[in-house]
Amino acid sequence: MRPAILLLVLSVLAAAPANAQFAFAPPAVDLTGEWGPRVYNTHMDIGDYTGMPLNEEGRLRAQSWHPDQLDLPENLCRPHPIDHGLRVSVSQLRITNELDADTRQPVGLRLHVWWQEPEQVIYMDGRPHPSPNAPHKWSGFSTGRWERNTLVYRTTHLKEAYLSRTGVPKSPKAEVTTRVHRYGNLLTMTFIIHDPLYLTQPYIRESSWILDPNQVIPPFPCEITPEGTIVPAFKVPSFLPGQNDVLQDFPTEYGIPFEAALGGAETLYPEYIKKMKTMKVAPRTTTTHYRRTQ
Amino acid sequence: MGRRVGLFAAAVTLALSASVDGQGRGGAQDAPPATPRAAAAFDMTGYWVSEVTEKWRYRMLVPDKGDYQMVPLNPEGRRVAEMWDPARDQATGEACRSYGAVGLLQVPGRLHITWQDDNTLRLDTDSGKQTRLFHFGGSPPANAEPSWQGSSAAIWGGGEPRDRRDGFGGPAQDPKGNLVVIPAQRKEADYLKVTTTRMRPGYSQKNGIPYSANALLEEYFDLFTDPYTKNTWLVLTQVVTDPQYLIEPLVMHAHFKKLPDASGWDPTECRADEPR
């Protein structure tokens, strides 16, 4: 073949991958590296559902949660779902390129977080999401695309898990759309959580990391103790409806109307500040609750 | 003949590459936009309302004095925070301290964003009735007096030239050895960066968490439509650098939902002892 014709053929082939199945979307921005978290998440108190657009079902599930559930043997090494794991302390993050095991061609990005070591692969090669009946996992199944310089990825097939560290539930029907934006050495993720079972509207929250090339993420060994835990066998601690006797602690200690602490879409907007002035607030028992040991 | 085929091949390469990747806002050969307004990465104008999903008790209420969890204050910052006295601020005309540039967009409320002119984006708030001006195309006057909102320089960020490598470490080039310039090799601006200095000392949080006159505020605005409700959102990431009171930069976030009109606009004066 004459060189010029060969060049023509190669030229056409070079332009072809965008139309091919599973064509890899090359990165608009390099997100790979070690990222140190800036953790400012709240919702550390039982009964703190503030800012969450919960519906009645979600609230009921949250109120049945008992902190001793964390000590059930099956929960000792239970990771958070990746969208929550990326937010709770200490979410040191490593982002690497994901290569196909056979062809060694790039297919996406891999996220690794320290606590319980969740791994999330974001496929950028155009593959479809699996059947709704496919297994659900802690990190779900994610596909991404570039919107200009922003990585936007959608995660489905997440296991039932939590929205907060104090038992606010997220259903297996939930899906999460995440926007990842790099501003120089700052990385911001915006999580848009859609849960038709427990939320009345998408729940949006953000987290940021600082590029830290010297960060070393240690291993996170976790074993279930063979001798059991402090929770007696065959017992699942929980509160029956209306019997959670610690729900009042959070609003009382912070001077918040009890109703406001229960969350809901209305509570997210400025108008609610006026409404709270008309609500009853229990006499405060302390003004230094925030100084407690976490 | 062979030379002509070679040139044709190069032309096909460029054309196909452009058709595959050039879905954005124009190629490198396009004439540069005339003004920052015309070059806007997205349209921020209109009315917006805060949606408070995190740090709720710090934003929808006035937090307790001394509650500076999640703020990397140094000892001097903690000492000053412990001296917070809202009654004194109100009485001495300092009630706007928590409505300065650093804290303003953390205060729940509505925003009205307009173009004051082709080079200046204007942001008005109903909470505290404040106005911020984002100046494009150069720095604001260096001799401007410090103010609650300071002096803000703005750029559309993310449009830096993309590294043109050919996958083997060399510069991408055409058969003649010229550097190849195609739309895919130019990134597009997709966020607003605002850098603010010359602020009067104020509070990043309602309960007197201080920032100093030497603080540097860097803000990044992202705009998107969520796939579930089709609402349009403005997401703000703030980075406050202030060695006088912070051991490291403070990172904060806020987001706002686009509104169809001015309904709900509720102007309030600066109030030292109220959440908004």
Percent over 70 (pLDDT), chain A: 89
In a domain, residue B26? The reply is no
The CA-based diameter of chain A, rounded to the nearest angstrom, is 89
Question: For chain B, what is the domain count?
Answer: 1
In a domain, residue B271? The reply is no
Residue numbers in A near B228 (CB within 8 A): 177, 192, 194, 202
The residues with which B120 forms a beta bridge, in sequence order, are B117, B135
Instruction: List the one residue out of A119, A118, A113, A177 whose CA is nearest residue A145.
Output: A177
Instruction: List the one residue out of A102, A147, A93 whose CA is nearest residue A120.
Output: A93
**Cβ of residue A293 closer than 8 Å to a chain B Cβ:** no
Yes or no, beta carbons of B226 and A188 under 8 Å apart = no
In a domain, residue B196? The reply is yes
In a domain, residue B253? The reply is yes
Q: How confident is the model at residue B244 (pLDDT cuts 50, 70, 90)?
A: very high
**Cβ of residue B110 closer than 8 Å to a chain A Cβ:** yes
In a domain, residue B192? The reply is yes
Q: How much is the pTM?
A: 0.88
pLDDT of residue A9: 53
Terminal Cα-to-Cα distance of chain B (whole angstroms): 75
Q: Compare B25 and B69 and report the one with higher pLDDT.
A: B69
Q: Output the 3-class SS for A22-81.
A: CCCCCCCCCCCEEEEEECCCCCCCCCCCCCCCECHHHHHHHHHCCHHHHHCHHHCCCCCC
Range of the domain at B198: 44-160+178-259
Which DSSP state fits A242?
T
8 A C-beta contact, residue A200 and residue A55: yes
Least confident span in A10-14, B90-94, B251-255: A10-14
Residue numbers in A near B52 (CB within 8 A): 51, 268-269
Q: What is the nearest CA distance from A194 to chain B, expressed in angstroms? A: 7
pLDDT of residue A203: 97
Return the number of other C-beta atoms located less than 10 Å from residue A176's C-beta.
23
Angle at the Cα of A204 (from A199 to A207), degrees rounded to 5? 135
Q: Which amino acid is at A168?
A: V
Q: What is the pLDDT of residues A257-291, one digit of tens each?
A: 999 999 999 999 999 999 999 999 999 877 777 66
pLDDT of residue B12: 42
Least confident span in A55-69, A259-273, B13-27, B63-77: B13-27
What's the complex ipTM?
0.89
Residue numbers in A near B229 (CB within 8 A): 201-202
CATH number of the domain bearing residue B51:
2.40.128.20
Yes or no, beta carbons of B226 and A148 under 8 Å apart = no
Q: How confident is the model at residue A8 (pLDDT cuts 50, 70, 90)?
A: low
pLDDT of residue A2: 61
Determine the residue of chain A that is closest to B263 in CA distance.
Answer: A271
